Structure 1
Amino acid sequence: MRSCCVTDVGQKRTTNQDFVFASDTPVGPLPNLLIVADGMGGHQAGDMASRYAAEVIVSHIKRSRERNPIRVLRSAIETANERVLEKAAEDEELSGMGTTVVAATVVENYLYVANVGDSRLYLIRDHIRQITRDHSLVGEMVRAGELSPEQARNHPNKNIITRAVGAGQKLEIDFFDEDLRKGDILLLCSDGLSNMVEDEEIEKIIKSGRELPKIAMDLIERANRNGGKDNIAVVLAQPLTGEVEQC
């Protein structure tokens, strides 16, 4: 796998509450690992939540003896939830902190994804396709037919999420798996990208044929050019030819 990751504070924020992680090499039993976390909370709490949750996830996976990728991701994210809650309880300034998490691994020709919150994973093949489901107020309204995707993009409550790591003892995690094909590109991102850049525009930039790090910077630049109202997190990955069979 080839991958790259980058975050940017954006045009309106003074602190960066997004955190990214990408490893092309094994992390515990997983052959690779990709993570985007978008923190929330006052003072430095959001920054702490995203970084701490991701660090706990990576550390937990490194020690895991489980072989099933979904179980590995589930256990790691549940542990991160417990640890974030504990840290928030220890420090009044961190009270109420939480974070989204989208984590993924590619095992042979299969993609495994875990998601909490509204950070996204896209699969770019013939077209761009969002694999994850947004755990947000407007996301639920779109799925219920109460809003169109276009209305959701400009809704005043679009930043309200309905699930987060650190939000409570009971954590619901969504899991997805997908067959991969040669040439597929994966994009993990925070809403600082997806709220600022239309899916079609993201697809066009990714299909430019440039190297992944240049594509990542092009996505950041476009989000900032379109307003940069939030921190921006981007992880891009492309399985190598030998890892994915041609269909």
Structure 2
Amino acid sequence: MNEQPASVSSLRPGLSLDCGHGTDRGLRRELNEDSYIASDPVFAVADGMGGHEAGEIASGMCVRALAAIPQLATGERTVTAAVLQQYLVRADTSIREATGARAGTTLTGAVVVEQMGMPYWLVMNIGDSRTYRLSQGQFEQISVDHSEVQELVDAGQITAQQATVHPRRHVVTRALGTGDETEADFWLLPVEEGDRVLVCSDGLNAELTDPQILRVLSSGGTPQDTADALIQAALRGGGRDNITVIVVDARNVLNDAGAATTAPRHNPDTEEQDTLPRSQATRQATTQPIPQQAPDGAAGNGEGHDDRR
């Protein structure tokens, strides 16, 4: 088993989270190289690349690094983007040492944090696994793929539909454990009553379109039933890759009128710089990228990594 122990639900005064999750090898892969963690306040999926168990090693190290965050033991929701990046750097170093930089992993997910008593989703992403949110009737992809085809879409050279069948759609431009570009992107979004967040490896969205994903997410099932239904739908669609899904529902959200449009002020102690991730035209105003300082030498060499095993 390469998945991490996960909590089905977490109940606290005020905000209540209910979580469902699952993973499947798929119909064509010999190994499941996905790993995940679903333990309040961290909900994340890592998709390993490398094959011959190396990808499983990479994704497992990434998830174990996140599991070491002190807030998982204390129950506090005080994680910051700067702290998360520190743990991702540790994961990157461990993967390189263990695999000789021959394997890597993507990572995406949402961490629940509180700022001045208000709950937020702190979404992180590196690679082409995805985090979506269904909120107040609006469905959107929060994360932005780090992939060659996403860069072509951003440049207006191909459409999003063409990207789904492009021959280089599997090539990622950022990953942990391999390559030069290892900095994650972060977004901060207010938690709204009834929010449903989906975190998944690309084995899901490679088989299902966004409308198909939305249809299952909005069917009214519990998070666990919904996670199971999404995996089964991806298997029916072909199951050509490992499939991992986390679904998190938020209830009893204590929020004020201003929290829906105002993100908390950045802490200057994190020394964040104006290096912004790419934005999507369809993203709502509440989806605000958090600038991150790039580590020395992290400009990247433009090389991509094929995430096919």
Q: Given the two structures, how large is their TM-score scaled by the length of structure 2?
A: 0.72
Confirm whether residue 13 of structure 1 aligns to residue 35 of structure 2.
no
Task: Summarize deviations over 1:185-212 as a string: whole Å, max 9, x none.
Answer: 0000011001110111111101111111
Task: Choose which of 65, 69, 78 in structure 1 pairs with 2:80.
Answer: 69
Q: 1:34 deviation in Å?
A: 0.6
Aligned partner of residue 228 in structure 2, secondary structure: helix
Task: Summarize deviations over 1:18-63 as a string: whole Å, max 9, x none.
Answer: 1111013xxxxxxx11110000103110111111111122114458
Q: Is the 8 A contact 2:48 2:57 kept in 1?
A: yes
Q: 1:240 deviation in Å?
A: 2.4
**What's the RMSD between the two structures over aligned residues?**
2.1
Alpha-carbon distance change, 54 to 193 in structure 1, aligned in 2, over 3 angstroms: same
**Aligned equivalent of 2:218:** 207
Q: 1:66 deviation in Å?
A: 11
**Aligned equivalent of 2:134:** 124
Aligned partner of residue 166 in structure 2, secondary structure: coil
Whichever structure has more helix as a proportion of its residues is: 1
**Partner Cα distance (2:252, 2:51) in 1:** 44
- Structure with the greater alpha carbon radius of gyration: 2
Q: What amino acid does structure 2 have at the position aligned with 1:44?
A: E
Q: Given the two structures, how large is their TM-score scaled by the length of structure 1?
A: 0.89
Alpha-carbon distance change, 35 to 68 in structure 1, aligned in 2, over 3 angstroms: closer
- More deviation, 185-194/232-241: 232-241
**Partner Cα distance (1:66, 1:177) in 2:** 14
**Aligned equivalent of 1:234:** 245
Number of aligned pairs? 235
**Aligned equivalent of 1:144:** 155
Task: Choose which of 220, 223, 232 in structure 1 pairs with 2:234.
Answer: 223
**Partner Cα distance (1:20, 1:170) in 2:** 22
**Partner Cα distance (2:191, 2:77) in 1:** 23
- The list of structure 1 runs, each at least 4 consecutive aligned residues, that deviate by more than 3 angstroms after superposition, is 60-68, 242-247
Which structure has the higher relative contact order (CA within 8 Å, separation 6+)? 1
Alpha-carbon distance change, 244 to 194 in structure 1, aligned in 2, over 3 angstroms: farther
Q: Is the 8 A contact 1:73 1:103 kept in 2?
A: no
Q: What amino acid does structure 2 have at the position aligned with 1:139?
A: Q
Aligned partner of residue 74 in structure 1, secondary structure: helix
**Aligned equivalent of 1:37:** 46
Identity %: 36
